[in-house]
Amino acid sequence: MSDVLLARQLLTPLDIVSDAALVMEDGRISAVGRRSEISHPQGARVVDFGDAILAPGLIDIHIHGGAGHDVMEGSEDALAAIERLMFQHGVTSYCPTTVTAPVDATLASLEQLAKAGDVASRSDVGSLRARPLGIHLEGPFLSHVRRGVHPPELLQKASVELFRRMWDAAGGKISVLTIAPEIDGALELIAEASRHGVRVSLGHSDADLNQTAAGIRAGARHATHTFNAMRPLRHRDPGLLGTVLTDRNLTADIVADGIHVNPVVVDLFVRAKGIDGSVLITDGISATGMPNGTYKLGPFEVEVRDGRCEVNGRLAGSVLFLDQAVRNARDFAKISFRDSIRMATLNPARVLGLDERKGILKPGADADIVVFSPNGEVLQTIVGGMLT
């Protein structure tokens, strides 16, 4: 069966289509354009969303949990709860993100995530859930100096052998690796992960300019939660952050919750990276969508109070929803809604190398779509062309 969606506006997000129509067939988009240009397939169901805005489904490449669950639980029930919550906020795809934990526990979580991911990617689990695109390893190959809340006793030296064990445990479903390029063995590991098709991201790092450049030469192409857990920018010692902000070949993400970085700094980040180089993430933890209290992040507990997630006074993830991050970035950086949408759709899809089918509304792409109100609130989420 075909469905035709009508709306006042559609964000591809490279272009804006007014008085728009989008045709979905068999989970894919078959046509996009103005209503006057699009033919309705025979027998198609027509859904008119009035003055709403159609946009690609949001993609969160850095999220640890939500709805009281952590992705490292790895169970189908835990992931289902997290994915349903994300779905309500316009997220159609995501990378379940690990934190530094004992090696055996991490390997066990990776095995469970791989199995649960196989279940969650099937069409028979229902349409009201975001779907995993691959695992993001945040740790254990991080700097002790910039470890944030990652337990120092559990950090590991960069090891190709350990990475291969993780790769095998995850059944090859690792999409992103965050690593500090200055630690021993990092360059070899970056090169090895890149050969496996993993997108290597620089983060939790105290690297100087030369160490950063070496990491990029080895294969790193992205940066994790810019400004947080990074060597501060100094005018005579710009370090990793100086490169992140100025290297156009390096994309970077940021937590735009107004807590991790000041709104003025979000504006600075977008000006420096440009719309095409900026990615929005949540770094959301199990407390997302929950009341104040104590919650788990991997193996340790986090105190959550009025939107701040802390371990001994240090920030430990967020309770940010990605649709709110889109609205925040629009307001903080004074950019258009289309540009802000791009930072949570096409740009993360490009980081993952999936931009031909994710993060964009065009013929042949997956029918992952969000219907927004004129103010940017989520009205409906569609995954794989399945209307609710």
Q: Whole-angstrom Cα distance, residue 312 to residue 47?
A: 50
Choose the catalytic residue: 3, 60, 70, 283.
283
User: Catalytic: 60?
Assistant: no
**Active site positions, annotated:** 283
